Amino acid sequence: MSNIIACYPGTFDPITLGHLDVIKRATRLFSKLIIAVAESTKKNTWFTTKERLSLIKESVKEVNLDLDKVEIVSFNSLLVDFCKKKNIKVIVRGIRVVSDMEHEFGMAFLNRKLAPYIETIFLMPDEKYAYVSSSAVREIAFYGGSLSCFVTKCVEKALREKVKEIRRKINILKE
């Protein structure tokens, strides 16, 4: 076991079982894993940063991951600047399918240019999560589909509540 701090950054809107599988794999490789939740994002997130942090903490507990090896924080800067501040030497990224590679490789090369001493590694989740994405999960939730094979119970509950809230806003706009 190396004494290296790694970072798994993302929006996690919401965290999925695929994300949790990558977290589990990363905690076997590194002495500490910082799950870094991006505050500022171009994505139109359903959940606030505070809600996403809470759902990650609950989900990590729900799937019995080693909490001593995991830190969950938010950041609002360039990822490499966050890594420098936290003395992170490795960025962990999940690759589900080949189409993820183009974007992820581009980001890894940019990060390497900005901070050549920070390595990026790619981990694949279990193949049963290869098609699971947060955006797909949000769409399934919006249309009332089954979520239990994609997210933890606490995330499923939060998604159901969020859908009710979104539908109320849509109905208000229609009036």
131 near 39, Cβ under 8 Å?
Answer: no
Choosing among 3.40.50.2000, 2.160.10.10, 3.40.50.620, 2.30.40.10, the CATH entry for 5-130 is 3.40.50.620
pTM: 0.92
Residues of the chain with pLDDT under 50: 1
Helix (H) or strand (E) holding 34: strand 32-38
pLDDT at 2: 66
Listed residue (134, 86, 93) closest to 111, CA to CA: 93
Residue 87, classified by CB atoms within 10 Å of its CB into exposed (0-12), middle (13-18) or buried (19+), is exposed
- Catalytic residue positions, numbered: 19, 43, 96, 134
- What pLDDT is attached to residue 175? 62
Q: Give strand ranges (E) for 107-163.
A: 119-123
Contact 46, 160 (CB under 8 A): no
User: How many CB atoms are located within 10 Å of the residue 22 CB?
Assistant: 24
Contacts (Cβ under 8 Å, ≥6 apart) of 63: 17, 20, 24, 152
